[in-house]
Amino acid sequence: KKVLADRMALLGTETAFEVLAKAKKLEAQGMDIVHLEIGEPDFDTPKNIIEAACHALTSGYTHYTPAPGIPEVRETIASYIRNHKNVDASAEEVVIVPGGKPIMFFSIMATVNPGDEVIYPNPGFPIYESVIRFVGGKPVPIPLREENQFRLDVNELAQLITPKTKMLIINSPGNPTGGVLTNEDIKSIADLVRGKEILVLSDEIYDRIVYGDTHPLSIASLPEMKDWTIILDGFSKTYAMTGWRLGYGVMHEEISARIAQLMVNSNSCTSAFTQMAGKEALTGPQNDVDSMVAEFKKRRDLMVNGLNSIPGVSCLLPEGSFYVFPNIKSFGKNSKEIADYLLNEAGVACLGGTAFGSYGEGYLRFSYANSVENIQKALERIETTLKKLR
């Protein structure tokens, strides 16, 4: 008998964690590494949020909570969604889970049948494809191209929709490219799927980390779209809370009740004091978020200018998130080889574009959620090391 169930062969992974482990190993051997591989803010969680968690711990928030979350925290999130995303959400439509990722896993698990087609961005967050395959769905990638600022092409999307399309996943601002769909794009996507009984999983985890003037539009705010949209959002990126594990989904009650049931079958509930910290994050002062985004913007500009001054590299200026996705096709090697080379020769940890799907070939992903000093050091090392390949 085999130890592992057959279904485990279908499950993928997130390469960032593997590269981090490899980089840590080199560090342990004495090599100096600049970490630009992992997608998390280097800032500490704002103090008011930490204090709220401590206060919750000493006030008895140490027990189980209802599976979909503490009612007052669900209401706080619903109110935030109404005000911030202009989506008329109720507390019953909110499910609180340990991070944004479980919403991906649970919502695909709850809605996608074997053989159902799911359209998802490529290059895109690798867990989408992993979970689609895991439940027996058919992954249908929609390419995000540099020529189109890494936004999906609505005409191309139209070609991919079939009677079997069950779900469309969008992620704006996007990982790994930093691309942001325009409000016109979002409206066209809604026009395309409206009335076709296609669920939209809208991953809006980076929607506060944007550098332009326009506030990203949630597809759920458009006519007839709310009941067909699952919004994925959370606290990891906006409030520098990656290690807390706190996120949520907003969706039709028929689905939110099932995600609550999946929580009963797995986590029981999200940690109580963590949920209370989330309430403070949304209702307390937001100036730490503003200063983080201002700092990210400075680092983005430094990173993009620096990369563009390296012969053979060209990099678009991303409008959101904290990643850049430079084109390195001129070096004539595949992106994983270049990423490995930069780690081993330059001590710069980054990801090859194919860690995010086949359309990521020819690109690298750097996270600039790191200090200006480290970014400068990385840029110098990348330049000297890539020069040797030309």
- Interface contacts to ligand PLP, rule CB under 6 A: 39, 99-101, 125, 171, 175, 203, 205, 234, 236, 242, 247
Nearer Cβ to ligand PLP (93/204): 204
Q: Which is nearer to ligand PLP, 176 or 347 (CB)?
A: 176
User: Distance of alpha carbon 23 from its chain centroid, rounded?
Assistant: 22
Give min distance, CB of 48 to ligand PLP, in A. Answer: 20
CB of 362 to ligand PLP, least distance (A): 21
Pick the closer one to ligand PLP by CB: 15 or 242.
242
Shortest separation between residue 266's beta carbon and ligand PLP, angstroms: 14
Closest CA to 81 of 198, 273, 253, 231: 231
| CB closer to ligand PLP out of 205 and 338 | 205
* Non-local CB neighbours of 48 within 8 Å, separated by 6+ positions: 280, 284, 285
CB of 120 to ligand PLP, least distance (A): 11
Closer of 318 and 347 to ligand PLP (Cβ): 318
* Least Å from the CB of residue 357 to ligand PLP: 13
DSSP string computed for 264-305: HTTTSS--HHHHHHHHHHHHS--HHHHHHHHHHHHHHHHHHH
Distance, CA of 179 to CA of 182 (rounded, Å): 10
CB closer to ligand PLP, 175 vs 335: 175
What are the distances in angstroms from CA 42 to CA 26, 83, 129, 237?
A: 21, 28, 27, 10
Question: CA–CA distance from 6 to each of 91, 128, 272, 307 (Å)?
Answer: 38, 20, 35, 44
Residue nearest to ligand PLP (CB): 99
Report residue 189 as tokens: 């996507």
> 101-111 and 126-134 are packed helices; what angle lies between their axes, rounded to 10 degrees?
30
In the complex, minimum distance from the CB of residue 239 to ligand PLP, in angstroms, rounded to a whole number: 11
